[in-house]
Amino acid sequence: MLVIVQHFSLESPMSDMPPLKPSNASAACEAEILAYGGAWEAALSLRLGLRQGRCVVLNQDHRGPLRLQKLFWPEGPNPAHGIVLHPPGGLASGDELALSLELEPGAALVMTTPGAGKWYRAKTPVRQAFVFKLAAGASLEWLPQETLIFEGAALRARTDWHLDEDSFVASMEILVFGRKQSGESHIAVDLHQCTSVYVNRQLLYRDPMHYVGRNALNGAAVMAGKHVSGLLWLYSPRLRGRLSTSQAEMLDQSLAAIESTASFAGVFAGASCLGNGMLIIRSVGDDPEALRTHLQQAWSLLRPWLDRPLAHPPRIWAT
């Protein structure tokens, strides 16, 4: 089932929170982690741009086990496809993970992960900071695979997006709370996560998430007892303001197809077109694979809004 809300406006809370910038994402994590006496750290800073029409890495710095696999170009010279590698595969007590990515004008990147991430039981919170900066005409499709959250996980995470008004974004997140096959239907967690989207340095959207305790996910307004949540959001200049008749028909057709995939997968989903360039789809269910398939199909159907041709799924998804 898909519930559609058109031109929904959201009052952004926590407006006094200063934005992270690509240059200080790792430092922000590092300053916070020092209070816990240090832990396993991993940081990656990337800058990509166009050279002779091809999207390439211009600068790459890393610390610890976080790297970008060599780019490849299955769709032609732009966009490039890449995989972010974190060999440990999971985060535990006090670990730090920082990712900073900058795209120059016109550069386009499709980026995913090789497999599911994991947030393990933690006595001291994991710290995670992701920062993405896109110049005019740049496009980023950030499509990581799902994250498995274990009993007792503790996380403090921030993701900041700094966008030019003429850039394009698709971002996907899937969270799996507990191992239902092992009887973990209601796990205790301590998760504080916030995503902020800035356009031309102005806050456009903020999405704080706070799950604390064993029953934090059971409310009807949260996950209604489901244990898998999904989020897919787009930013596109073509979604700003009132849509033309042809654009509205195109969007309606896409959302109708997404509704069909959601119903087939046994997923409950809702879509909001905010009128400010953003389109948000939230989903909940009990089958991680079904929800992943639903969101991947939704991304495929909505990709034309990013001025991209038909979707070319990352090859790693097929393995």
Under the banding of pLDDT at 50, 70 and 90, the label for residue 56 is very high
81: exposed, middle or buried (Cβ count in 10 Å: 0-12, 13-18, 19+): buried
User: What's the confidence (pLDDT) of residue 182?
Assistant: 66
Q: If pLDDT is split at 50, 70 and 90, which confidence band does 90 have?
A: confident
Task: Name residues whose C-beta falls within 8 Å of residue 248's C-beta, 6 or more positions apart in sequence.
Answer: none
Q: Render pLDDT for 264-294 as a digit per residue (tens, 0 to 9).
A: 777 888 888 888 999 999 998 888 899 998 9
* pLDDT score recorded for residue 15: 40
* Dihedral-angle region of residue 85 (phi above 0 means left; psi in -120 to 50 means alpha; beta otherwise): beta
Max Cα separation, the chain? 58
The pLDDT, as a whole number, for residue 226 is 81
Report residue 193 as tokens: 């996560």
Boundaries of every domain in the chain: 2-318
Which one-letter amino acid corresponds to residue 227? H
Q: What is the pLDDT of residue 211?
A: 78
pLDDT of residue 23: 46
Name the residue with tokens 């407006």: 15
Confidence of residue 222 (pLDDT cuts 50, 70, 90): low
Confidence of residue 256 (pLDDT cuts 50, 70, 90): confident
Structure confidence at residue 165 as a pLDDT band (50, 70, 90): very high
pLDDT digits (tens, 9 = 90+) for 107-162: 999 999 999 999 998 888 999 999 999 999 999 999 999 999 888 899 999 999 99
Label residue 249 exposed, middle or buried (CB < 10 Å: 0-12, 13-18, 19+). Answer: exposed
Q: What is the mean pLDDT of the chain?
A: 84
- Alpha-carbon span 207 to 278, nearest angstrom: 13
Could you tell me which residue, 34 or 41, shows the higher pLDDT?
41
The residue ranking higher by pLDDT, 9 or 193, is: 193
Task: Using pLDDT thresholds of 50, 70 and 90, give the confidence band for residue 221.
Answer: low
